[in-house]
Structure 1
């Protein structure tokens, strides 16, 4: 069996809504595709945590910046040490 790629094939849980996600992909393309896949599945006031945010893994930062630029209803913040938090601005509504 080869490596599993996310998001992969449609699974029986693909219609679930999510409130918390922890992403540890390290690469730009994986992070960007994961965010695009998860966006319609995240409920209001969801929380997304990234590993290796604002560290030596530039792909994660680039993907998060592009995502928040394309979707201004999301905001990203650094967490110490080396993680990031992304939340929907609905938290402040």
Structure 2
């Protein structure tokens, strides 16, 4: 009898732990991406940045949030083709 109660309790704890892990939004990606990696896949960077902006209380200091934010900002200033969007016209 004690054995079945122990197994039932253990199973319940594992189910609760698995459910909590599945709903864990404290990470926005499976690994840490560099700014350069985010820049190469700017749509993914924007998706991560949106998740981070939606939950700044928990995700503000997440490395992926910081790197995605930088990549998105860089894309806004420079663009994905590497051409500076705010470059002053040359005077000749």
TM-score, normalised relative to structure 1: 0.32
Name the structure with the higher helix share. Answer: 2
Name the structure with the higher strand share. Answer: 1
TM-score, normalised relative to structure 2: 0.32
Q: Which has the larger radius of gyration?
A: 2
